[in-house]
Amino acid sequence: MNYYTFSGRTKNFTFALMGIGVIALLYGLFNGEISGARFWANILLEGLFFSFIALGAVFFMSLQYVAQAGWSVLVKRVYEAIGTFMPFGLLAIFIVLVASIIGGMAGHNDIVYRWMQKGVTDPSSPVYDEMVVKKSMWLNIPFVLIRTIVITSVWIYMGMVMRKRSIEMDLTNDFLPLHYKNMMTAAVYIVFFGITEQFMAWDWVMAIDYNWHSTLFGWYLFDDMWLTSVVVTILLTLYLKRKGLLQNVNSDHIHNLGLWMFALSVLWTYLWFWQFMLYWYTNIPDEVVFFQPRIDHYRWLFWIMMMVNLLFPLIGLMTRDTKRNPMFLAIIGSTIMVTHWIDAYIWVMPGSVGTGWHIGFLEIGLLAGFTGLFLFVVLSSLAKAPIQVKNHPYLEESLHHHF
């Protein structure tokens, strides 16, 4: 039994979640929300959150290739499958970009990316902003569109190529050349992704608060991608193990994944605090414009999110035993997934929706819908390939992984 079967019951569950999402979309459509920023900001939020999981998974996969890591071969299919969600999430982000451009051209002011408003670079206009004029070398609509399309297509293409080769490796005995090809692609991908992810972080998230800029924020998002993808890998692996698959994954593999979760959570806090402390200390208007609305209007979400993301993994996963306990890992993993969604909420909302935010049916419904879509895509691609890799130079090492 080396194949995962995407059973009808699970499928129906994902369809039900997607159904809630569709209802939320229709609700937004007929409620008049569609002309406001809240509707689009929510789609952007879900697109960011879920495509970041997929992007992190493809990055993690490349990292395993380049580092020639042996232990992770048994869970390789899991993060490969997570990576296949990439085009769907990126499409959602792209739709919001286009919607903002159209909204801006039509003269709407209540759009997600406010720097796209009509007349924002025109000194006689009431929405004129000198900051946007100064940043227009980088932040102008054609350039943003071109680089988004080019960069995301390269990401999607490289991710697909690596997965395709990996599946081909199982079908042939001459798998080493394919593995080396994948290693080369992965090395290129890591460098390319490391640079371009920064651009996309600026365009998709930082540009919402266009008066603010930070050189660290891209790395902060990078860590968020990496962490959420590892957590989803853990949750899926535990789920598959409960289903009786992936029997060769022992508690040492789980321990390694738990170590990643612990380390990346601490790194997340480090980056978060680094930014916060320096902003707090220097108190420069350009910079505090990021934290001011977040602390003033999103106070409880902001602090609770930060404390949970730090303390849950730090205290909960500090000892060896909790990293090997599936129940414990699942609880901590799902908790920090929720708080990282809140984190993503706080990236997007203050600059687009502003002070009048609330978490209602639209937020919850779209979250459910995208979760359903994500699970559907990931589980379908999981079912397409043998769940345990058959041919891999480090398979034997992974089977005997112990420490």
Partner 1 sequence: MATYIHALYNDDDRLIDGAKKVREQGFSIKEVFSPFPVHGIDKVMGLKRTRISICCFIYGCTGFSLAFWMIWYMLIKDWPIDIGGKPNFTWYHNIPSWIPVLFEATIFCSAHGMALTLLFRSWLFPGVTPKNPDPRTTDDHFLMVLPAHSEEDELKLIATANATGAVEVKKVHL
237 contacts 330 by C-beta, under 8 angstroms: no
Q: Kindly indicate which of the ranges 112-120, 234-242, 278-286, 289-297 contains the residues binding partner 1, using the contact rule CB under 8 A.
A: 278-286
- Taking Cα atoms as reference points, which of 348, 301, 359 lies closest to residue 114? 348
Answer whether 253's CB lies under 8 Å from 71's CB.
yes
Is position 9 an interface residue for partner 1 (rule: CB under 8 A)? no
Candidates 83, 9, 13, 49; CA nearest to 337 is 49
Residue 402 Cβ vs partner 1, minimum distance, rounded to whole Å = 5
Cα separation, 324 vs 258, whole angstroms:
8
276 lies in the binding site for partner 1 (CB under 8 A)? yes
CB nearer to partner 1: give 105 or 277. 277
- Is the distance from CB of 254 to CB of 403 less than 8 angstroms? no
Closer Cβ to partner 1, 27 or 276, answer by number: 276
Distance between CA atoms of residues 205 and 342, nearest Å: 14
312 neighbors 336 (Cβ within 8 angstroms): yes
Q: Which one among 30, 107, 281, 327 touches partner 1, defined by CB under 8 A?
A: 281
Nearer of residues 3 and 280 to partner 1, judged by Cβ? 280
Q: Considering beta carbons, is residue 318 or 338 the nearer one to partner 1?
A: 318
Write each residue from 311 to 340 as x if it is in contact with partner 1 (CB under 8 A), else as -, in one continuous string: --------x---------------------
Quick check: 403 binds partner 1 (CB under 8 A)?
A: yes
Q: Looking at beta carbons only, is 30 or 281 nearer to partner 1?
A: 281
Question: What is the rounded distance in angstroms from the CA atom of residue 99 to the CA atom of residue 110?
Answer: 12
How far apart are alpha carbons 19 and 81 in whole angstroms? 23
* Residue 285 contacts partner 1 per CB under 8 A: no
Stretch that binds partner 1, among 118-126, 146-154, 276-284, 372-380 (CB under 8 A): 276-284
Cβ closest to partner 1, residue 260 vs residue 376: 260
Tell me the Ramachandran region of residue 68: left when phi exceeds 0, alpha when psi lies from -120 to 50, beta otherwise: left
Q: Is 291 a binder of partner 1 (CB under 8 A)?
A: no
Is residue 277 a contact point for partner 1 (CB under 8 A)? yes
**Residues 347 to 386 in contact with partner 1, rule: CB under 8 A:** none
Angle (nearest 5°) at CA 222 between 220 and 227: 95
For the bound state, the minimum distance from the C-beta of residue 253 to partner 1, rounded and expressed in Å, comes to 14
Contacts of 32 (CB under 8 A, 6+ apart): none
Tell me the three state secondary structure of residue 246.
coil
Show the site string, 254-273: x = touches partner 1 by CB under 8 A, - = not.
-------------------x
Residues that bind partner 1 (CB under 8 A): 273, 276-277, 280-282, 319, 402-403
